[in-house]
Amino acid sequence: MTPSTKLILILCTGNSCRSHLAEGILRAALGDAAIVASAGSNPTGTVHPMAIEVMAEIGIDIRTHTSKHLNEFLEKKVHTVITVCGHADAACPVFPGQAAKHHWPFDDPAKAEGNEEEIRATFRRVRDEIRVKFEAYAREIAVG
């Protein structure tokens, strides 16, 4: 990371689904233009297997992602914080150097009910909603 490389931190409560979907999509969209990470206010300690599966369907590998606590980033210069659920927005501290904050809530696919295919469909829907928002954001900051 060069001094000019900005750190974008995506926060969610459990850091198991939505934040990893967003991290993978934004990292793929931005390439080396920024450092993208995710964390949670109450991390589960795992990345949901179905999140990994639906990201692989669009060619993004998040198998090496880990569930982390937002405290790991309190001493880092975080340029932008993006919360993807209401609880994380409420629990979000201000980070050193933070220049921007966005709150874009999405449904929690980990709470989806139904059979395996219905749950997978929810994961895909949320992934696609996140993809639209975060790819648009990547285009916006690439221009700015």
In this predicted model, what pLDDT tens digit does every residue of 89-100 receive, in sequence order?
666 677 777 789
Chain mean pLDDT for the chain: 91
Handedness of CA 84, 90, 92, 94 (dihedral sign): positive
End-to-end CA distance of the chain: 20
- List strands edge to edge, sheet with 80-83: 34-40, 6-12, 80-83, 100-103
Segment (H or E) for 97: none
Region 69-91: what's the mean pLDDT? 85
Q: Which two tokens stand for residue 131?
A: 């993809």
Q: Which two tokens stand for residue 67?
A: 């569930």
The answer, as to whether pTM is greater than 0.75, is yes
**Residue 39 to residue 144: CA distance in whole angstroms:** 26
For residue range 107-132, what is the model confidence (pLDDT) as tens digits? 999 999 999 999 999 999 999 999 99
C-alpha 70: how far from chain center = 12
Region 22-45: what's the mean pLDDT? 95
**What pLDDT, on the 0 to 100 scale, is given for residue 85?**
87
Q: Which residues are catalytic, by number? A: 12, 85, 92
7 contacts 34 by C-beta, under 8 angstroms: yes
**What pLDDT, on the 0 to 100 scale, is given for residue 88?**
61
> pLDDT-derived band of residue 2, with 50, 70 and 90 as boundaries?
very low
Q: Hey, which CATH number is domain 6-138, 3.20.20.70, 3.40.50.720, 3.90.550.10, 3.40.50.2300? A: 3.40.50.2300
Is the predicted pLDDT of residue 1 greater than 50, yes or no? no
Indicate the angle between helix axes 18-30 and 116-143, nearest 10 degrees: 40
